[in-house]
Amino acid sequence: MNRDLGTATFLIPGQLRGIVYTDLDGTLLDFDTFLPSPSAVSMVKELVGVGVMTVPVTSKTLSEVEQLAAILPLAPIAAAEGGAVLHRAGRDPSLLGAPRSELIAILRTLQAEGWPVRGLSEMRAGEVATITGLSAAASQRALQRLASEPFTFVSEPGLGAAVLKERVRELGGNLVRGGRLWHLLGAGVDKGTAIEEVRACMPTTASVPAAAVGDAWNDLEMMCKVEHRFLLGTTVPEADIPCAVERISERGPAGFVEAMLRFRMSLKGS
């Protein structure tokens, strides 16, 4: 039995030979255009053909992820908003952490304490577009959040990120750093915990070879949950990486394709 996902046929978990957990911006998608290259689209289709499903694990919103379904045969499950929201086809999204209202309250506390932060909840689509490079329509989709509050620093913080991360933890949240923005999430929530939720929902995925691909700090937790770990580009310094990874110099779709060529080669030997 197959499930039609637009441009290709997706193999159900019973036919799985492998699974790929992938970041989007700066990985499967170009960091500046927010689009996959033709070779990246072809690669995802080829993965489907050999029984490997591609699961987005991204800081994007579900609305943004849904826009990709027309061109990419992605799995019928996705983790959005940095791992805080899990969506399965045909079901309402599940929040894996605190709702956005609670995270905005944490942000307000930080601001009252003097932290120079500005959240997406305070911005209009035009400002989001300026900061991120997204189109106006895409910026509107980026604002449709359920369980995360991205923010930017409006000036250099007097204290370091480690101090801020600890303060956020004291306030009942979690702080992760993405490629462009910082993200407030619920306590204990990150892309690594999202992978655990995917495995709980689809137990077959836990018994096949798994790869994770990303380019930023918030991708590291999910990499440490799998055996094949591909870190793209040079943004993240070695000192920040908590587990062994394969580094690929190319960032974006070219790096994604290279990572998948390596992963497919490993499957041939299994």
Q: What is the CATH number of the domain that holds 26?
A: 3.40.50.1000
Below-70 pLDDT ranges, the chain: 1-14, 158, 269-270
Instruction: Show the tokens assigned to 96.
Output: 């894996």
Single out the residue of 214, 171, 169 nearest to residue 195, CA to CA: 214
Please tell me the predicted confidence (pLDDT) of residue 226. Answer: 98
Q: What is the pLDDT of residue 270?
A: 57
Amino acid 156: pLDDT: 79
Based on the fold, state whether residues 253 and 205 are members of the same structural domain: yes
Task: State which residues form the domain around 226.
Answer: 2-95+190-268
Query: What pLDDT is stored for residue 80 in this prediction?
Result: 98
Could you tell me where the DSSP H helices lie in the chain? Answer: 38-49, 62-66, 100-112, 125-132, 136-142, 161-170, 191-201, 220-223, 253-268
Residues 151, 115, single domain; the answer is: yes
Predicted local confidence at residue 57, as pLDDT: 98
Task: Give buried/exposed letters for 11-37 (b at 16+ CB in 10 A, else e).
Answer: bebeebebbbbbbbbbbbbbbeebebb
What Å distances lie between residue 192 and 58, 70, 225, 226, CA to CA? 11, 27, 6, 9
Domain C-terminal end among 186, 207, 233:
186
Q: Are residues 234 and 104 in the same domain?
A: no
Last residue of a domain, one of 186, 210, 245: 186
Judged by DSSP in three states, 144 sits in coil
pTM: 0.92
- Cβ contact 194:83 at 8 Å: yes
Domain finish residue from 186, 205, 230: 186
Q: What pLDDT, on the 0 to 100 scale, is given for residue 261?
A: 98
Residues 138 and 177 in one domain: yes
169/264 Cα distance (integer angstroms)? 39
Can you tell me the distance from the alpha carbon of 196 to that of 225, in angstroms, rounded to the nearest whole number?
A: 8
pLDDT (0 to 100) of residue 269: 63
- Give the integer Cα–Cα distance in Å for 267 and 270: 5
CA distances from 214 to 15, 22, 198, 232, 250 (A): 25, 6, 17, 6, 11
CATH of the domain at 123: 3.30.980.20
Domain count, the chain: 2
Structure tokens at 63: 């609305």
